Every structure is written in C-alpha cells, then in structure tokens.
Amino acid sequence: KAGVTQTPRYLIKTRGQQVTLSCSPISGHRSVSWYQQTPGQGLQFLFEYFSETQRNKGNFPGRFSGRQFSNSRSEMNVSTLELGDSALYLCASSFLQSRETQYFGPGTRLLVL
Amino acid sequence: QKEVEQDPGPLSVPEGAIVSLNCTYSNSAFQYFMWYRQYSRKGPELLMYTYSSGNKEDGRFTAQVDKSSKYISLFIRDSQPSDSATYLCATPGTYKYIFGTGTRLKVLA
C-alpha cells in the first residue's frame, strides 16, 4: 500500500506571496492532519480534515487554511507569507479520526526569503 | 507547562550502548502513547505505541509507561549508527496529537 505523499517536496517563496501544498493520504484513510515543524517549536498542529470538513484547528492565524476533496486528498494554503513561515510542513493520515495512529508523509520544506 | 516535555538532546552514544529516551506528560487522562523516529529531511515514522502502563517490546526497542509518575520511556538495545535520528514521543490529546519536541540521538560507530 502506498504511503502518504506530499508535493512539492521543496519550495522557495518570497515574503507576501502565497503557497499551496498538497497531500495524498494512504488509500482508505479519510482523516488528514497538517503540522508545521520548526527547530524551536517542534510539531505544531495546524488543522484536521475529515470527509471534506475541517474538524479541528490549531492556534495559527487565518492566513493558514486548508481543504479536503472527495477523494480525501488535501491541500493547505498559506497567504501573505512571512519569514517565520519557513518550516517543514507535514501531513499525516489516519483511518477515521486523528486520534488514531497517524502516518506521516515526507513533508514539504518551505523557505520564505 | 507543556503537556508533553522531552529533552531535546543531542544525545551521543557509542555503538552497542543501551539508549534511554524519555518524556513526561502532565495530563493523567492520557493513556495512549507513541514513539516516532524521524530521520533528517524525512517525515516521522511510527516506531511503537503503548497503551496504559507497562512495557512493550519489539526487537531491540522497548517502550515503557509509568502512569504514576507520568513518565514514558523508549529503550534501544545494542544501538546502531542507523538508529541516529530524532525520536519524538506523542499522545492523542482531546482533539489533536500532542508531540514532544524530539530528542536528537547520534550513535557513533
């Protein structure tokens, strides 16, 4: 069974731009969670989607948004990028809900200049 | 106080050593714990999970939970250079996973 895939793997943007990241969960998994990972803060929960609905949200500004499609694929969007948004963005999929065992993708490394 | 605390390391040990990685948690309602391993420039991969108290063994790895002291541990026996990675403890909170910041381990050949 294929694992979680994320595209692109690397991205360089400048301040003020926006970016869209994509995540394809493990086949059959319906819950997708997004995380931001930085050296100082570790893994920070962004949001969780299930059946095309955002189910939970972390403490991030409204510039961070996401959506999920009917095939469970998910996208995350960050608008008006700031230098501090430079991080590894990880998505994780689980079968029904985020409290079950999560399986992570390789991440998208975003650098904001 | 963070809900899950973990010493960031780095921790350097010689090959063959027994490694002990530890986390503490604050909420006694937490019952399910995971350990993830993350190699450089990769996503975390699930290593082990445990429920409630006691030990769970898988090959060279043993996960231990002590609910009375709110302490979780991962032991690695006969450590190898390929074990060099960051190890994260995690627990499903009320609505989201809560991760420790990770301990960076380096096993020297």
Query: Per residue in A68-84, pLDDT tens?
Result: 999 999 999 999 999 99
Is it the case that residue A65 has pLDDT exceeding 70?
yes
Question: How many angstroms separate the CA atoms of A66 and B108, rounded?
Answer: 42
Q: In what order do the strands lie in the sheet with A5-7?
A: A5-7, A19-24, A74-78, A64-68
| The pLDDT value given to residue A9 | 96
| The pLDDT value given to residue B37 | 96
Place of tokens 């032991």: B75
On whether any CB of chain A is under 8 Å from the CB of B39, the answer is no
Question: Bridge-partner residues for A107, per DSSP?
Answer: none
Cβ-based contacts of B45 with chain A (< 8 Å): 104
SS3 assignment, position B91: strand
| The pLDDT value given to residue B25 | 93
Q: CB–CB of A99 and B97 under 8 A?
A: yes
| The pLDDT value given to residue B72 | 94
Question: How many angstroms separate the CA atoms of B68 and B81, rounded?
Answer: 34
Categorize the per-residue pLDDT at A2 as very low, low, confident or very high, splitting at 50, 70 and 90.
confident
- Written as six digits, the tokens of A62 are 């409204």
| The pLDDT value given to residue A1 | 66
pLDDT in tens, B44-79: 999 998 887 778 899 999 999 998 899 999 999 999
Is it the case that residue A106 has pLDDT exceeding 70?
yes
| The pLDDT value given to residue A26 | 95
Beta strands in chain B (DSSP E): 4-6, 11-14, 19-25, 32-38, 45-51, 54-58, 61-66, 71-76, 85-92, 97-99, 103-108
- Provide the mean pLDDT of chain A: 93
Beta strands in chain A (DSSP E): 5-7, 10-13, 19-24, 31-38, 42-50, 53-57, 64-68, 74-78, 87-94, 103-104, 108-112
Question: Bridge-partner residues for B74, per DSSP?
Answer: B21, B63
What is the nearest CA distance from B102 to chain A, expressed in angstroms? 7
**Residue B92 CB neighbour total at 10 angstroms:** 20
SS3 assignment, position B78: coil
Torsional class of A102: left (φ above 0), alpha (ψ -120 to 50), beta (otherwise): beta
pLDDT in tens, A3-39: 999 999 999 999 999 999 999 999 999 999 999 999 8
Which chain A residue shows the shortest CA-CA distance from B5?
A42
Q: What percent of chain A has pLDDT over 90?
A: 83
Cβ-based contacts of A109 with chain B (< 8 Å): 41
